[in-house]
Chain A
């Protein structure tokens, strides 16, 4: 009994897909391995996937679906929501009904999420492949070795930028899947953040405690920022010429996107996995322990009196709603909004 008690505590994948509103639907993962489509006005749940123990995808027979965890927001296009899941599958869901139109199987969990480019859907799997998929039929149109990818590919000018946990950033032509750069950009440790494209610069970071600015055209390093003492994992947030990056060393950094110079840093109480967002005139970040901070983007000072405390684990990126408030989803599926003006917390009751 003692042994069993001591041995409890393996972290099962739950997922930390950020919420996202497309048209009038909020897509959110409230339970590990489930995607809910919620009416953004009434907060009524329209559908959930998987809705039952057994699901039918396209013409396949009904089978048990256990997605286990979803780590990225769905890609929504032309009435279809595409998600990649920890079970290694890509699912195409009808946004009106939640019905599964097709599924596409890779050989390992999908953590990083999907990207649409040039009329094709791309899925980077931890099996080392980047798959090009027909978004209508779900059939494979090609694949290329891209490394063990944990982040969502970035798209810019018909090029896919794919970063892996081996510390390589590759650029692929979305039409041909051919590598664009002579050789990948290499770092000493793996990449975890979603890369973002900002004025011809790819910004990304990861295990090596360094944030990089990489030339999108050549793959050469433009700058690097090594001011953190732990990993970067939250998606960097670009605002004008400034990048806001959160780190697991409990800090938020404001970095000049052109030079990589630190403009300011903000100390939080606990490690920050989720990326920061800009809402109104405030940078908002939520740490792992559920403290939500409002930060003045100019000075890096706290905008409110102390953090707003949710007291629940927060790993998913916050999302700025149309009314300017910031939606935060905890690991257990509780949802809150935070007012960027004063940090006031409101519980969101999704039914």
Chain B
């Protein structure tokens, strides 16, 4: 069995997301001062032109252009993706300790302090998980808006495109784009259900691969629900959005699976995880280590709580009862 506990990762430049956000903020403010539309000038218009440029590379096949764009984007943002996955892995391994802290420290301030300490120990940056998600979401929305102009299909959308395309002959010559790809029209929703199903399945697989094995039953239940809910939502979206957006989603999911494989390794990514059953228990070595840490927390907490006891009589009365109940439940299992 492999040791699933995350080795304390080297502390990376945590200031990177802050720098990116600040740079974006400055760019947005500059645009606003210049009386420009930041959403269009920073995101949508460059994206439109990048997609048209890639269209030249892939010999005028806009479907391939979207695929190439997605791969390039995911490659550029791979440091964020890896950090997110590592952070998720560290979160997974710290779950028992987190649960122990949640259970034992009733004082929110103290609980917060302990959590921060735990995050530091495991080198977890809870906000670090959001950056790739934010990038994904921003690109998803910008891509949709870009597609509305690129393959909107109607002459009206092309009038809008004329104002967004940079004045280079090489780009202009690509218009209007050839929007048919495989059985789909990149500007139309795929009503054959094939693409929506592929989006749903790939999202489901991706969700299942990131389910936390050490989570509490309640958390596991939530994760199980999300692993169904998100694919269903995306199937619905794909049925109503242009196929180009669905193609982006599928390629992005496949890329995420490869990234997960790279970070988690083969042993942690098994096909068993795809079944709608709770994931297998954590590896013994990791569990032992966690138990040790958990015991430390509990011992420490008992000490703290006995100090707190005079101030909080009601809590002191109820705590042992909770402990007994949970203990009994565990024995029954």
User: Quick check: A230 and B162 within 8 Å, CB to CB?
Assistant: yes
Look across to chain A and name the residue whose beta carbon is closest to the beta carbon of B156.
A11
User: Quick check: A6 and B144 within 8 Å, CB to CB?
Assistant: yes
Identify A208's interface contact among B141, B144, B148, B169, CB under 8 A. Answer: B169
Is A273 among interface residues, defined by CB-CB distance under 8 A? yes
User: Quick check: A10 and B148 within 8 Å, CB to CB?
Assistant: yes
Identify B237's interface contact among A3, A10, A190, A229, CB under 8 A. Answer: A3
Contacts of B172 in A (CB 8 A): 189, 207-209, 231
User: Quick check: B176 and A13 within 8 Å, CB to CB?
Assistant: no
Query: Which residues of B216-247 are within 8 A (CB) of A?
Result: 237, 241-242
Is B155 among interface residues, defined by CB-CB distance under 8 A? yes
User: Quick check: A190 and B175 within 8 Å, CB to CB?
Assistant: yes
User: Quick check: A13 and B159 within 8 Å, CB to CB?
Assistant: no
Is A340 among interface residues, defined by CB-CB distance under 8 A? no
Interface string of A10-48 (1 = CB under 8 A from B): 111110100000000000000000000000000000000
Identify A11's interface contact among B160, B163, B176, CB under 8 A. Answer: B160
Q: With both chains docked as a complex, state the minimum distance between the C-beta of B285 and any C-beta of chain A, in angstroms.
A: 42
Identify A190's interface contact among B137, B140, B145, B176, CB under 8 A. Answer: B176
Contacts of A233 in B (CB 8 A): 159, 162
A207 to B167, CA, bound (A): 10
User: Quick check: B159 and A188 within 8 Å, CB to CB?
Assistant: no
Look across to chain A and name the residue whose beta carbon is closest to the beta carbon of B145.
A9
Contacts of B173 in A (CB 8 A): 167, 188-189, 207-208
Is B38 among interface residues, defined by CB-CB distance under 8 A? no
A16 to B144, CA, bound (A): 25
A332 to B280, CA, bound (A): 60
Identify B241's interface contact among A7, A12, A71, A86, CB under 8 A. Answer: A7
Is A69 among interface residues, defined by CB-CB distance under 8 A? yes
User: Quick check: B141 and A7 within 8 Å, CB to CB?
Assistant: yes
Is B153 among interface residues, defined by CB-CB distance under 8 A? yes
Q: With both chains docked as a complex, state the minimum distance between the C-beta of A188 and any C-beta of chain B, in angstroms.
A: 6
A229 to B155, CA, bound (A): 19
User: Quick check: B159 and A273 within 8 Å, CB to CB?
Assistant: yes
Contacts of A3 in B (CB 8 A): 137, 140-141, 237
Contacts of B77 in A (CB 8 A): none
Q: With both chains docked as a complex, state the minimum distance between the C-beta of A32 and any C-beta of chain B, in angstroms.
A: 10
User: Quick check: A6 and B152 within 8 Å, CB to CB?
Assistant: no
Is B270 among interface residues, defined by CB-CB distance under 8 A? no
Q: With both chains docked as a complex, state the minimum distance between the C-beta of B47 and any C-beta of chain A, in angstroms.
A: 14
Is A248 among interface residues, defined by CB-CB distance under 8 A? yes
Is B154 among interface residues, defined by CB-CB distance under 8 A? yes
Look across to chain B and name the residue whose beta carbon is closest to the beta carbon of A271.
B163
User: Quick check: B159 and A288 within 8 Å, CB to CB?
Assistant: yes
Q: With both chains docked as a complex, state the minimum distance between the C-beta of B182 and any C-beta of chain A, in angstroms.
A: 19
State whether A10 and B157 are in contact (beta carbons under 8 Å apart), knowing that A188-B169, A189-B172, A207-B172 are contacts in the complex: yes
A11 to B146, CA, bound (A): 12
User: Quick check: A11 and B157 within 8 Å, CB to CB?
Assistant: yes
Q: With both chains docked as a complex, state the minimum distance between the C-beta of B129 and any C-beta of chain A, in angstroms.
A: 19
User: Quick check: B159 and A230 within 8 Å, CB to CB?
Assistant: no
Look across to chain A and name the residue whose beta carbon is closest to the beta carbon of B137.
A3
A248 to B175, CA, bound (A): 15
User: Quick check: B148 and A209 within 8 Å, CB to CB?
Assistant: no
Contacts of B154 in A (CB 8 A): 11-14, 69, 86
Query: Which residues of B120-151 are within 8 A (CB) of A?
Result: 137, 140-141, 144-145, 148-149
User: Quick check: A231 and B162 within 8 Å, CB to CB?
Assistant: yes
Is A133 among interface residues, defined by CB-CB distance under 8 A? no
Q: With both chains docked as a complex, state the minimum distance between the C-beta of A112 and any C-beta of chain B, in angstroms.
A: 10
A7 to B246, CA, bound (A): 13
User: Quick check: A10 and B152 within 8 Å, CB to CB?
Assistant: yes
User: Quick check: B169 and A165 within 8 Å, CB to CB?
Assistant: no
Q: With both chains docked as a complex, state the minimum distance between the C-beta of B234 and any C-beta of chain A, in angstroms.
A: 10
Is A319 among interface residues, defined by CB-CB distance under 8 A? no
A111 to B162, CA, bound (A): 18
Identify B155's interface contact among A9, A150, A188, CB under 8 A. Answer: A150
Interface string of A146-158 (1 = CB under 8 A from B): 0010100000000
Contacts of A252 in B (CB 8 A): none
Q: With both chains docked as a complex, state the minimum distance between the C-beta of A339 and any C-beta of chain B, in angstroms.
A: 28
A270 to B100, CA, bound (A): 64
User: Quick check: A271 and B162 within 8 Å, CB to CB?
Assistant: yes
Most A C-beta atoms less than 10 A away, residue of B144, B145, B155: B155
A13 to B153, CA, bound (A): 8
Contacts of B137 in A (CB 8 A): 3
User: Quick check: B159 and A315 within 8 Å, CB to CB?
Assistant: yes
Q: With both chains docked as a complex, state the minimum distance between the C-beta of A102 and any C-beta of chain B, in angstroms.
A: 26
Contacts of A209 in B (CB 8 A): 167, 172
Contacts of A69 in B (CB 8 A): 154
Contacts of B141 in A (CB 8 A): 3, 6-7
User: Quick check: B175 and A14 within 8 Å, CB to CB?
Assistant: no
A208 to B153, CA, bound (A): 19
User: Quick check: A229 and B163 within 8 Å, CB to CB?
Assistant: no
User: Quick check: A248 and B176 within 8 Å, CB to CB?
Assistant: no
